Structure 1
Amino acid sequence: MSLSQSFEALVPRLETPRLVLRAPRATDFDAYAAYLASERARFTGGPMDRNLAWRAFGHVVGHWVLRGYGVFVIEDKATGEALGTTGPFFPEGWPEPEIAWTLWQGEGRGIATEAALAARTWAYEALGWTSAISLILDGNTRSEALAIRLGCIRESSVTHAQFGPAGIWRHPAADTQGAGMEAYA
């Protein structure tokens, strides 16, 4: 078994009706780098070139090693295509653990909502989190709309040292989050 196969075996695999949430793979990098090179990435650290995208991708993988959890790659069950990332995330400089999401492609189909709900449920159930935030940069109206669909409330504001002004969006508490993974059974 290769090291990458060993890593993938350690990361949980979640499924919803349309999606698989799984470990990041080297084969996901081209889609990730294309997204980060685009103007769409302005709220997630981009645009950036492939060299910086590679470093950012290493951050995605390394988070699993350093924290024992991280963002999953969102894969379309029907096509096998990698669509983005979502999951528990807590890098240095964040005010507290968050549920993060980024769609590289496939917007407007409810994919981010379905994936983020599954990831949040997993964080609450498997990691024992009782609360989470999402840190959303000011002006990112699509992410704000998703936060509202997930039942989040903008709690306060913060100025992140690297990314600038952002809202702290509080997720419903674990015991009140509503539909969980059972909605996808």
Structure 2
Amino acid sequence: MAIALTMDDGPHPAYTPQVLEILRRYDIKATFNMIGAQVGPNLSLVREVSSEGHTITNHTWDHADLSHLTYHQVIDEIDRCNEALANANQHPTIFRAPFGNWSKAVYQACADRQLKPVAWSVDPRDWDTAHVDTQMIVHNVLAHTHPHSIILEHDGGGDRRNTVQALKTFIPVLLDRGYRFVAM
């Protein structure tokens, strides 16, 4: 009954603290897929995420669509993010490609940097803030989560109020259903 909650595109000074508060309330761990360019201005948040026992991964320097980049450009995106995270004493072992766009160059870069590529299995489309509301996110997560699911959510990259509200609703329901949240 283990499942993983993943938070992409942060850290964000407004939304990441709200997500952390919810995770604290339910005593669960998550995986935060961080963008390198967001790390420097939010180093204290990166440290807070880590100190609370959550996993921090590499989500590129600037959320580039890697499927259009050469191997060397992909390596640069990964290395720049790793360097930013190292400033917060973080050394990720997991990589998530922005947009879920994988290519041979991305897989090779992950192998060369000893990063495990990880995607998701439940996409509630919380990133589509123009068309997806809180209830749609909740419904999608509750309808599609099964043992060993990896749930995609976002704590950065735009207005995440709906995501924060959805977390408050679906986390206790999933816990009541017997699921156990684990950080990767």
Higher relative contact order (CA 8 A, sep 6+): 2
TM-score > 0.5, shorter chain as reference: no
TM-score normalised over the length of structure 1: 0.32
Query: Higher strand share goes to which structure?
Result: 1
TM-score normalised over the length of structure 2: 0.32
